[in-house]
Amino acid sequence: MERSAVVEPDLDEVEHWGHPPHLHAGGQLVTAITGSGVLRIDDRDCPFDAATGIWVPPRVLHSGVFAPDLVPLAVDLDDDALPQQARLVTIDADLRALLLAWARDHDDARNAVRGRQIAAAVHRAPALRHPLRLPRGPLTRPVMEHLRVAPAVVPPLEEWSRKLHASVATIRRAFLAETGTTYSEWTTLFRLELSIAPLCAGETVATVARTMGFSPNGYTLAFRRWTGQTPSDYRSRLEV
């Protein structure tokens, strides 16, 4: 496993620093010893600091803007089985101790073992997702309030048109303007967001699917498109 250098900027000369868009042949877990930064991956801004790491898969274009006090730590992981999607990795006390030991120790054999343990943490981490924009307007917010109470019931736009005294086209345009997605896409994503809490509380996948208005197969397919993992895999990785 290659070792990435820890770079310390001259704080007297920079207000911020970073890297232009680039990619690596291998994957990296990027975190911080101190300070913070933001990686931009697939048009997403991904903040990281000493408590948060970002898994950057091989050959994924990314750039970075870093605070002047950032002391970064990038761990190169050469493992074809690692995720091919960017992931958000929580750096708990055990993982932080492991990363710091990796940074300090130049023994290849010990660091090979640590590398496998770090890779396991990446495997458990959830995929990065675009944050869901919430509707705020008078023609869109009622939809969100309804789904919070009754997620299994998604009224057609024609029904909202009658209730809100606005045309279907007007409501459709409002959703696109406020959330960046269509009515159908947004209601699906919002119900997937709502499903995380009962899923991680131990409800069965079938029960969560029915509660959110999906068939079990439909829920699994939608969840996988959203996170890159099945609901069961997502939950099991959080529990490890």
pLDDT for the residue 237? 65
Q: Is 109's pLDDT higher than 70?
A: yes
Alpha carbon 147 to its chain centroid, in Å, reads 23
Q: What is the pLDDT of residues 152-208, one digit of tens each?
A: 999 999 999 999 999 999 999 999 999 989 999 999 999 998 998 898 888 999 999
Q: With cut-offs at 50, 70 and 90, classify the pLDDT of residue 3.
A: low
Q: How far is CA 9 from the centre of its chain?
A: 28
Contact between 140 and 171 (Cβ < 8 Å): yes
Whether residue 59 has pLDDT greater than 60:
yes
Residues 114-145 as b/e (b if ≥16 CB within 10 A, e otherwise) read: bbeebbebbbbbbbbbeeeeebeeebbeebee
Taking only the tens place, the pLDDT of each residue in 114-135 is: 999 999 999 888 777 666 888 9
The CA–CA distances, whole Å, from 226 to 27, 54, 179 equal 22, 18, 16
